[in-house]
Structure 1
Amino acid sequence: MHETHIGAVFLVGDYAYKLKKPVDFGFLDFTRREVREQVCHKEVALNRRLAPDAYLGVADVTGPDGEICDHLVVMRRMPEERRLSTLVRQGEPLDDVIRNLARVMARFHQRAERGPAISAQATRDAVRERWRASFAQVRPFHGTVLDADVAAEIEQHAEEFLAGREALFTHRINTGRIVDGHGDLLADDIFCLDHGPQILDCLEFDDTLRAVDGLDDVAFLAMDLERLGAPELGELLLDRYMEFSGDPAPAGLRHHYLAYRAFVRVKVACLRYEQGETSAAALARDYARIAVRHLRLGEVKLILVGGLPASGKSTLAGAIADRIGATVLRSDRIRKELAGMPAEQSAAAGYEQGLYDPAHTERTYAEIQHRAGNLLELGETVVLDASWRSADRRAAAGEVGVRTHSRLIPLRCWAPEATTAARLAARTGSISDATPVIALRMATDVHPWPDAHTVFTAGTEHDSLTQALAYLQ
């Protein structure tokens, strides 16, 4: 027999019989036999979408008096040695299996039911309500099962991400990413057979909880693989799923859904602990660590990379973006774009003259901040590459961060004057039009930037990146 907080599975010969417990957790109520019967039939119908040969039907349980007293889902018994969680724990090579699972889920989601009622369950507000419902159910376990500080950090990070990302969730709905999915994708319920994976046990008791973003659906299994000690398989699953489904989701959303699914399992573990399974407390803490890790990684950031000409800011900005999967907006490029010029075309002029006069500069910074705001609302971390000499412009960028609930990280690149002069003298093919003379003038016209982290950029690119990443973390 295998037991969960809501049911038990009896393995008998070639068959498995699944019983629903007569429990009421608020988010489900199985206390009435008629409800359990209805849910059993629904479970069979829904699970035949991904495992048509495994689900045989529903059997009635009769008591000594001949009256029906309960119901069982009847299934073919799967080979225990082919359970995905078993294979992961044994360290089997599973890359091909994971790729196939990603392809199966992408195809399943492509064919899945969609519609306004389903999409309504994946708005920003709906996702926030799911988080908050789980927070409320877990709160009584703070300080006993869970570390109260970790639980508080999870709540704070989740709320902050959602507060600034309504546009992201609307975009996901508008691009058809919300489906009637599986809802409970776990490695224990997947069997890797020769003719393909058998994916069992979808969430059947509440249609609204099965109406999810496809990425959210698959993130559940990716999170579970991480919990089993194979985070690289979880990353592979999400990478291939996004490839096969053509999903360009930002890294922040990916981490957010991984954290959400981990916290769902925190809640389940707490409920099992309350039912008397004391070992579930350690499991709840493991899941909480996964949740907080991904919420930290998924934090949306607005990174200002500033400094004088040839201080290495563009090199550093690009390196940061490549490492963390961010978008770079470069003032030199946008300035010329707004003027209708190719980025590579020279616009050299005197100090604060021509394309670099105050009006063009003001327009450039306004545009870079506008684009940054749009990207931040869509969950993209943004790196803004500009000199950031003006305290007022830095303050305006900070307001964009506040409005989009994004963490502002100011980085000031610095190298000795001899280094920057040598770089300017050797520069070819740059889209920057700065000259040594202009660099000297700019150096005398920089507002103090006391809250910036200084990155020493006279060394290697790797050294500069290491410093910057330490500040980001």
Structure 2
Amino acid sequence: MPETGIDVRETHIGAVFLVGDRAYKLKKPVDLRFLDFTDRATRERVCHREVELNRRLSPDVYLGVADLHGPDHRVCEHLVVMRRMPEDRRLSTLVRAGAPLEHTVRVLARTVARFHAAAERGPRISEQGSREAIRRRWEDSFAQVRPFHGVVLHQETAGEIERLTREFLDGRDALFERRLSEGRVVDGHGDLLADDIFCLDDGPRVLDCLEFDDRLRWVDGLDDVAFLAMDLERLGAAGLAAQLLDDYAEFSGDPAPPALRHHYTAYRAFVRVKVACLRFAQGDDSAAGLARAYAGIALSHLRLGRPRMILVGGLPASGKSTLAGAVADRLGAAVLRSDRIRKELAGITPEDSAAAGYREGLYGPETTRLTYDEMLHRAGELLALGETVVLDASWSEAHHRLAAAKAAERAGSPLAQLRCWAPETVTAHRLATRTGSLSDATPEILQHMATDVHPWPEAHTVLTAGTTEDSLAQALAYLD
């Protein structure tokens, strides 16, 4: 049975009239800088464009465009005519009701990935996914939100969002270039929100793509789906948001680093900050709280999305390699081990012994310098691609740590320093009993190093005499 009565839903750019089994969508004659609907011919064109674009995902919902005639029988307005969707199947409604949606989210991820696979691509589209294009989008939003600093948004929050955004973009040119070369930028949806998705028995209907500016719809596929992930998080379904991104990565074959997921999620949250501020300016006082909530999501993800350089050091058998691996596993980071790189540079396999006296052979000063230089070079490349890196080495000399700090600064990445420590009885036992280690350290080497290590006041000391889980908990507490 069709629903009876008339219901009106209003946004900052339009209104939807729900009548029976139909929905009629009107464009408001507004100029919001990022769109200008003040001309009727523009509104007509945009209505037809909306139908054309949305039929890509929901062809049975978008029925056409109706001309509205005035008393003089002249056309005075245009309406997008749609099949009315059942309110109780709206994704946002189901999320708020706590419905089991794991299967639904997986179907949605597959739907969006399939849509992106078939979407239009090309040089003009790819250009909008470049680092500079993304920077312009951010800066445009910053400029529009800035008048609301101190009125809607806290100055400190807004300032940190701007600072962290620029820090990420400044150091990540290689990441965005790789995304372009892999064809990740598509003519997407541009406005994926849980309010506009309906979960029907025969599959989801995804509505209301961004139609008024093609450039805002030409985005990285991850950027596109991150909008919905952000919206699910806002609705209190952070688990579903993470699942959506994981499932999308699986179906699209997208190996994007976690930092890029966080960055795009933050960007989409800030888009909604801008929209909420505009609604506030139009007289909706309740939009102020919404803007602050979205700003909190944006800031959280910008903090989480900072590719970090993490030094994990200590004397031989202090547990640094075990901790480095555990930290990397937990953070989804890459691990670079000095023991492995040292032997690679020498042309031998990591498992081969290169045992020598203290500061002799492969462990002499020149080989050690080359090893650290190569490790930091590789770390810089990974940071530029958005990867957090964990560097497993003794870090016993201050000038190596200074070089690491400079490399992290060049990459626009924060540096964290962890020093592993265990009692001498523990390290001696480990040296005497361990097997399969890449290290060639002996008890004698350990004694020499213990008396020759440079002070490391910048490091956070992790006690590694207990279990790996205990050491990891200490490290993560410091890193967080």
TM-score, normalization by structure 1: 0.99
1: CA distance, partners of 2:243 / 2:283: 36
Q: Equivalent residues in 2 for 1:209-288 (5 A)?
A: 209-288=216-295
Which of 362, 367, 373 pairs up with 2:369? 362
Matched residue type, 2:172 = R
Which of 328, 333, 355 pairs up with 1:326? 333
CA displacement at 1:278 relative to structure 2: 1.2
Query: SS where residue 122 of structure 1 aligns?
Result: coil
Query: SS where residue 444 of structure 1 aligns?
Result: helix
Q: Are positions 1:27 and 2:55 aligned together? A: no
Which of 71, 92, 96 pairs up with 1:64? 71
Q: Are positions 1:424 and 2:431 aligned together? A: yes
CA RMSD between the two structures: 0.8
Which of 336, 355, 364 pairs up with 2:343? 336
Residue matched to 1:126: 133
2: CA distance, partners of 1:431 / 1:454: 23
Q: Are positions 1:151 and 2:139 aligned together? A: no
Which of 192, 202, 227 pairs up with 1:195? 202
Q: Are positions 1:316 and 2:312 aligned together? A: no
274-283 or 217-226, which deviates more = 274-283
CA displacement at 1:121 relative to structure 2: 0.6
2: CA distance, partners of 1:144 / 1:359: 58
Q: Equivalent residues in 2 for 1:302-451 (5 A)?
A: 302-451=309-458
269-278 or 445-454, which deviates more = 445-454
2: CA distance, partners of 1:70 / 1:86: 31
1: CA distance, partners of 2:15 / 2:113: 30
CA displacement at 1:364 relative to structure 2: 0.9
1: CA distance, partners of 2:274 / 2:246: 27
CA displacement at 1:146 relative to structure 2: 1.2
Residue matched to 2:5: none
Q: Equivalent residues in 2 for 1:169-180 (5 A)?
A: 169-180=176-187
Query: SS where residue 74 of structure 1 aligns?
Result: strand
2: CA distance, partners of 1:230 / 1:26: 33
1: CA distance, partners of 2:126 / 2:479: 35
TM-score, normalization by structure 2: 0.97
Residue matched to 1:89: 96
Tell me the alpha carbon deviations over residues 156-193 of structure 1, each in whole angstroms, 9 at most, x when there is no partner.
Answer: 11111111001101110001100000000000000111
Q: Equivalent residues in 2 for 1:5-24 (5 A)?
A: 5-24=12-31
Matched residue type, 1:13 = G
Query: SS where residue 9 of structure 1 aligns?
Result: strand
Q: Are positions 1:139 and 2:123 aligned together? A: no
CA displacement at 1:457 relative to structure 2: 1.4
Residues matched between the structures, number? 473
List gaps (5 residues or longer) in structure 2: 1-7
2: CA distance, partners of 1:272 / 1:285: 13
Tell me the alpha carbon deviations over residues 269-297 of structure 1, each in whole angstroms, 9 at most, x when there is no partner.
Answer: 11111111111111111111111111111
Query: SS where residue 319 of structure 1 aligns?
Result: helix
Q: Equivalent residues in 2 for 1:289-308 (5 A)?
A: 289-308=296-315
412-421 or 102-111, which deviates more = 412-421
337-346 or 86-95, which deviates more = 337-346
List gaps (5 residues or longer) in structure 1: none
338-347 or 81-90, which deviates more = 338-347
Identity score, percent? 71
Query: SS where residue 452 of structure 2 aligns?
Result: coil
CA displacement at 1:149 relative to structure 2: 1.0
2: CA distance, partners of 1:117 / 1:394: 44
Residue matched to 2:459: 452
Residue matched to 2:4: none
CA displacement at 1:105 relative to structure 2: 0.6
Q: Are positions 1:470 and 2:477 aligned together? A: yes
Q: Are positions 1:107 and 2:114 aligned together? A: yes
CA displacement at 1:359 relative to structure 2: 2.0
1: CA distance, partners of 2:236 / 2:477: 26
1: CA distance, partners of 2:345 / 2:67: 72
Tell me the alpha carbon deviations over residues 375-403 of structure 1, each in whole angstroms, 9 at most, x when there is no partner.
Answer: 00000000000001111111111111011
CA displacement at 1:347 relative to structure 2: 1.3
Residue matched to 2:58: 51
Tell me the alpha carbon deviations over residues 389-420 of structure 1, each in whole angstroms, 9 at most, x when there is no partner.
Answer: 11111111111101100001111111121211
Matched residue type, 2:464 = T
